[in-house]
Amino acid sequence: MASSAEIKQFIKDAVSKDKVVVFSKSYCPYCTLAKDVFAKVKQPITVIELNERDDGSVIQENLAELTGFRTVS
């Protein structure tokens, strides 16, 4: 398992590489709505499906620390 510092660096790298990055869960209806909005306006996005990654919960915890928000349930 990656360290917290490595996860934070992964997040920072992801958001610095692309204009729009969505940290999502594939079953979340709100995440689906957000992704659909970008598709409708033809804005390319990078999607990181937290529930499809072994480190997804750790990424979510670190996102909460970095932003002050739990991005998805």
Q: Is residue 51 one of the residues assigned to a domain?
A: yes
Q: Is residue 73 one of the residues assigned to a domain?
A: no
- 4 pLDDT more than 90: no
* More confident call, 64 vs 4: 64
Q: Is residue 26 one of the residues assigned to a domain?
A: yes
Which element (helix H / strand E) includes 49?
strand 46-49
Write out pLDDT tens, residues 13-45: 999 999 999 999 999 999 999 999 999 999 999
Q: Is residue 38 one of the residues assigned to a domain?
A: yes
Query: How many distinct structural domains can be found in the chain?
Result: 1
Radius of gyration of the chain (CA): 12
**Percent above pLDDT 70 for the chain:** 95
The average pLDDT across 46-58 equals 96
Q: What is the CATH number of the domain that holds 11?
A: 3.40.30.10
Q: Is 59 exposed, middle or buried (0-12, 13-18, 19+ CB in 10 A)?
A: buried
- pTM confidence score: 0.87
Q: What is the pLDDT of residue 51?
A: 96
